[in-house]
Structure formats: C-alpha cells, structure tokens
C-alpha cells in the first residue's frame, strides 16, 4: 500500500514535470534541423522522465512483478486521467468525443515508451539490489 501511495504522488509530479517540458518544447524552434527532431526530443523526454520517476519509485526496494504493474498502471491510467482533466480545464466547452479525437496511434507509441522505461528502471533496480546481497544469496 505504501508503494502505491509513493507511486501515486510520483505520477502526479511526473505529470507536471512532463507537461512543463512539453510546453517548453512547443515554443522551441528547431529550424536548422529537420521537423522530426522536435518529435524525437519529445519521445526522448517521455522516456527519460518516465525512467527517472520509475527508478525513484523502485529505489527503496526490490521491485516485484506486482510493483512493476502498479507503477506501469499508475503512470498510464492516472497519467491519462490527469491529461484528460487538463484538457477539460484548458478547453472550454470540451466534450468527451473531442477528448477521444486527441488519442491516435501515436498514443500507442507513448504507451510502449512508458512500458520500456518502467521495465528498464525495474531491471536496473533489481540488478542494483542483487549486487548488495551477500555472495551465494539469490533473490
């Protein structure tokens, strides 16, 4: 239960950091570079920030499969609900149909990026914990 509370608050913090960075990227000009550079930077930011916050969530314990599922579910479900809430706050007269139009196949790429970042953070946390064990002890 304590792990879920930690992940819940890290999800909210991750959301605000990610939205701030993406807002910065909207106003950034990459004119000498190709246009896809901005998209690649946004994907990289999603990956790195998700990895950082997942590693932060896993740093106190050996992440079990259920911990990984809790972190992944929280980042995906609560993060999506926060995005939807921000959409309704910033778009007066917004409808649920309008919200659904914002989700496309590109959203699945972000889900894959989140899963990869969380899996990598969990793998790193497990390997780090295993190095701290006495010789001969296996988790």
Q: How confident is the model at residue 116 (pLDDT cuts 50, 70, 90)?
A: very high
**Per the structure block, which two tokens stand in for 59?**
């740093």
Per-residue pLDDT tens digits for 20-30: 998 888 888 87
Q: How many CA atoms lie within 13 A of 110 on its CB side?
A: 18
Q: For residue 131, is pLDDT > 80?
A: no
Residue 92 is given by DSSP the state: T
Q: For residue 87, is pLDDT > 70?
A: yes
Per-residue pLDDT tens digits for 37-70: 888 999 999 999 999 999 999 988 889 999 999 9
**Per the structure block, which two tokens stand in for 96?**
């649920």
Q: For residue 139, is pLDDT > 70?
A: no
Distances (CA, A) of 94 to 3, 23, 97, 99, 100: 35, 20, 8, 7, 11
Q: Measured between alpha carbons, how far is 33 from 36 in angstroms, rounded to an integer?
A: 8
Q: How many CA atoms lie within 13 A of 94 on its CB side?
A: 15
Residue 26 or residue 134, greater confidence: 26
- The arithmetic mean of pLDDT across residues 86-105, rounded, is 87
Query: Among candidates 99, 62, 95, which has minimal Cα distance to 80?
Result: 99
pLDDT at 12: 95
Spans of all domains in the chain: 2-28+36-128
């Amino acid at each position: 239960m304590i792990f879920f509370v930690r992940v819940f608050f890290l999800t909210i913090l991750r959301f605000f950091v990610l939205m701030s960075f993406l807002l910065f990227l909207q106003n950034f000009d990459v004119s000498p570079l190709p246009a896809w550079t901005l998209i690649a930077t946004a994907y990289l930011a999603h990956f790195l920030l998700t990895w950082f916050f997942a590693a932060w969530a896993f740093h106190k314990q050996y992440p079990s499969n259920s911990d990984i599922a809790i972190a992944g579910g929280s980042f995906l479900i609560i993060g999506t609900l926060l995005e939807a809430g921000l959409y309704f706050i910033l778009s007066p007269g917004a409808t649920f149909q309008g919200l659904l139009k914002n989700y496309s196949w590109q959203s699945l790429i972000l889900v894959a990026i989140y899963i990869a970042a969380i899996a990598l953070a969990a793998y790193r946390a497990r390997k780090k914990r295993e190095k701290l064990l006495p010789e001969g002890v296996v988790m």
